[in-house]
Amino acid sequence: MQVRFPDVDWFCDNCNTYLNNQRGFDDRKYIWKCKKCGYKNSISAANIRHENPVMHNVFGFLLGYIRSYLVYAIAVLIISEIIRKQEIVLFFGHRLFLILALSYPVVIMISLFFERAIAKYGIHKPLGNWIISTIPCYFVGDCFRPLREVLTFPFALLNLLRLKIKGISFTKYFRKKCFYAATYLILLLLIALLFWKSGACLVFS
Ligand SMILES: [Zn+2]
């Protein structure tokens, strides 16, 4: 039997059980449902952690968080400017806008470097193709991640209750969901504050 990832050990993202020796495990499957807890694990190159998974998770999260904040803050400044002037204008004189707009590509570059050189994601793809396909993924992800993490939280709660009734523990997965929902809720509140501030100056000016 040919395996997709020779010499890679797979562990459940929820209960940390070793998956390779579960009955019927086949790494050619893209999803493997853990026999112990029932969590559906993604079996893909993106989920292989080469060295330090905690560091990768922390840096990956921070970079994604900063990128989302920048995208939302830029959008909020554009929207408040449109409301104020009733037209789309260029913001070359707006210092905060300039700082944010220039920071986004810089954080994108740091993220690309981190993923490729340190976390070794996508190393099986040619560098140019990988960069061209990854940047739009970043942007779409940065736009939707905060809303998705906050809005899907009630469903995670329902799922937890449903599984609790069945006697299956999903605590690790749920803790992660709570962390993401709380941090992205803070991000949305910070954005709302920025919107209120930029809106407040136009109301009082
Ligand atoms: Zn499991």
Return the higher-pLDDT residue of 151 and 53: 151
Same domain, 140 and 173: yes
Same domain, 58 and 103: yes
Judge whether residue 33 has pLDDT over 70: yes
Confidence of residue 32 (pLDDT cuts 50, 70, 90): very high
Q: What is the pLDDT of residue 87?
A: 59
What is the 20 CA–ligand 1 centroid distance (Å)?
A: 12
Same domain, 79 and 17: no
pTM for the structure as a whole: 0.73
Percent pLDDT > 70 in the chain is: 89
Specify the DSSP class assigned to residue 10: -
Q: What is the pLDDT of residue 187?
A: 97
Q: Give the domain extent around 44.
A: 1-48
Same domain, 197 and 185: yes
Q: What is the pLDDT of residue 151?
A: 95
Q: Of 12, 31, 48, which residue constitutes the final position of a domain?
A: 48
Upper half-sphere CA count for residue 61 (Cβ side, 13 Å) = 15
Q: What is the pLDDT of residue 53?
A: 67
- Counting the structural domains of the chain, the total is 2
What is the 43 CA–ligand 1 centroid distance (Å)?
A: 13
